[in-house]
Structure 1
Amino acid sequence: MGIALLALVVSSNPLSAQPQRPGASGGPGGPGGMRSADRWGNEGDLGGSLVRTEGSGIIDEDVVRTAREVVSHSTGTPSWENPRGFEKDVFTFTRAIFRAAPTTAPSPSFHRGRRIGWWVDFPDADLNLSFRLQQMTSMRTDPDGRVLKLNDPDLRHYPFLFMEHPGYMQLRDSEIAGLRKYLLAGGVLTVIDFWNSIEWNGFAAQMKKVMPERTWTELTIDHPIFHCVFDLKGPMQRLQVPTMQFWNRNRDPNDPSAPLQIDRGPDSDVMSVRAMLDDRGRIMVIAFHNSDISDGWEREGEHQDYFEVFSERVSYPLGVNLIFYLMTH
């Protein structure tokens, strides 16, 4: 499992770019993962291999292979190409498919009656971050991205794996074995956008099945991952990104007790970053709890203030740092 990664060369003012606006290219929505253009239906598991997303229609988990196959549900995603002959000599943003526990009872009120899963912010977050990495650095990135199940043998070809909303994740034995093999072989799992103590406990219980011998280490703002390319200032709470729909736009930034967003469940107000390390101290899993960093990638073109406050100042600098550090350590 390897990747030819050039040293990052960040432009002199990389985050002055304007947000992607409506009219940017969206995914073609080809015959692969998409089954419907139904845009506003209820999200969640439809049975079998079909899931209804938060606005991109129905996806067949057994068929979908890339983010590019799925229609944007935000303001569109950019398109780009790499030189012929070097298509594989790139960084590929790879998202994990997993199944959530079946809803046997009404979900907590902070989920508004539904449980959400791996497809949140997909495909916009994946493609927007990939484009910004190519735009802002010397890194070449895959213009399509990948999406894979945890028991897919192709997983070994992609050293970076992204997971979103795993609070109700239920892993099958083959997925537990596949993810464990991946992590022990040098792969790294990044987890973003899950909230409260209920979802942390659900995710942590599944990871205990994968790596029962490992424990969690709390990372502080002094960790080099926060300073390796962009120097992100503390405290850690400054890196909390609210989901845009839940953002409290009237919040007084001078009042630290004022909520950044509406209630997301018990113990959802304080952001934390936890890592699972191997025997050499390498990060195998890094979890950003109580922060929707990927919403800053996904929704960068929807609201100018949100772009300037969160996408520009937190989500993209942290995304660049994250990829650079994990792929070079």
Structure 2
Amino acid sequence: MKHLFYSLLCFVLALSSMNAQDIAVLKYGGGGDWYSNPTALPNLIAFCNSNIGTKINPDFETVEAGSVSIFKYPFLHMTGHGNVFFTDEESENLRTYLLSGGFLHIDDNYGMEPYLRRELNKIFPDKALEELGADHPIFNQKYAFPDGLPKIHEHDGKRPQAFGIFEQGRLVLLYTFECDLGDGWEDPEVHNDPEDVRLKALQMGANIVEYAFKS
């Protein structure tokens, strides 16, 4: 009975957020710095509200992976360095959220990859990350990226890659790797990125937001 009530509550909250345009930061366990890039999301939200017609609340919330609160937000953003860990209950909660219409963008700030893949197997043991080709619609929203995901920070010098998990053709989870969009969203003085690089990062971020809110 308790599980049924929880499922119904999640469903109601998911329905109530279908027309919302709000973003929350996902807090996770394992010791990774889920709170990194503190100026990134405010700048992305301001850019989106000014350039693609969104009305996202600039006072975004932080939500925990196991909380029912995630169902109030159609878009969750996750970033950090290093270890990521989800309990079984958190994994089930995130799976329910994503299958109920939610969207999760994970931006690897450097070092998340091996831990993240392990934890994604808990959420979707029956699915694998698939690389998105440059022809995916997410690269051709308000802004065109004919070559796919832009390179913002070098890190290991590898090419930037966008991976996704799909449910019945819908992209429910986007993982951006060897790109570091969030660093490009931060205030200019944080990383001293050239303005054209920051603009690419913000435009790609706006594409992700636009795609998620439309899908």
Normalising by structure 1, report the TM-score: 0.57
> Rg larger in 1 or in 2?
1
Is contact 1:92-1:146 (8 Å) kept?
no
Q: 1:281 aligns with which of 169, 181, 202?
A: 169
Q: 1:93 aligns with which of 6, 15, 23?
A: 23
Aligned residues: 200
- Is 1:297 the equivalent of 2:208? no
Structure-2 residue corresponding to 1:177: 92
Distance 2:171 2:145 in 1: 19
Q: 1:306 aligns with which of 172, 193, 209?
A: 193
Structure-2 residue corresponding to 1:135: 50
- Going from structure 1 to structure 2, the CA distance change for 1:91 and 1:119 (only over 3 Å counts) comes to same
How far 1:202 moved relative to its partner?
1.4
- Going from structure 1 to structure 2, the CA distance change for 1:289 and 1:276 (only over 3 Å counts) comes to same
- Going from structure 1 to structure 2, the CA distance change for 1:117 and 1:300 (only over 3 Å counts) comes to same
- Is 1:241 the equivalent of 2:152? yes
CA displacement, residues 218-275 of structure 1 (integer Å, 9 cap, x when unaligned): 10111111012111131x46x0111xxxxxxxxxxxxxxxxxx4x54xxx62211110
Structure-1 residue corresponding to 2:145: 232
How far 1:140 moved relative to its partner?
0.9
Distance 2:151 2:160 in 1: 6
- Is 1:205 the equivalent of 2:111? no
Structure-1 residue corresponding to 2:7: none
- Is 1:270 the equivalent of 2:159? yes
Is contact 1:194-1:200 (8 Å) kept?
no
Is contact 2:52-2:142 (8 Å) kept?
no
Moved beyond 4 Å, runs of 4+: none
How far 1:194 moved relative to its partner?
3.9
Distance 1:143 1:275 in 2: 26
Identity %: 22
The within-5 A match list for 1:151-162 is 151-162=66-77
Structure 2: runs of 5 or more not aligned:
1-13
Is contact 1:218-1:275 (8 Å) kept?
yes
Structure showing greater relative contact order (alpha-carbon pairs closer than 8 Å, 6 or more residues apart): 2
As a proportion of its length, which structure holds more helix?
A: 2
How far 1:138 moved relative to its partner?
1.9
Counterpart of 1:319, as a letter, is: G
* 2:193 aligned counterpart, secondary structure: helix
* 1:306 aligned counterpart, secondary structure: coil
Counterpart of 1:320, as a letter, is: A
The within-5 A match list for 1:1-329 is 1=14, 2-4=17-19, 91-101=21-31, 116-122=32-38, 124-165=39-80, 167-195=82-110, 199-234=112-147, 236=148, 239-242=150-153, 261=154, 263-264=155-156, 269-278=158-167, 280-302=168-190, 306-312=193-199, 314-329=200-215
Is contact 1:150-1:179 (8 Å) kept?
yes
Is contact 2:163-2:175 (8 Å) kept?
yes
Normalising by structure 2, report the TM-score: 0.85
Distance 2:162 2:59 in 1: 28
Structure 1: runs of 5 or more not aligned:
5-89, 102-115, 243-260
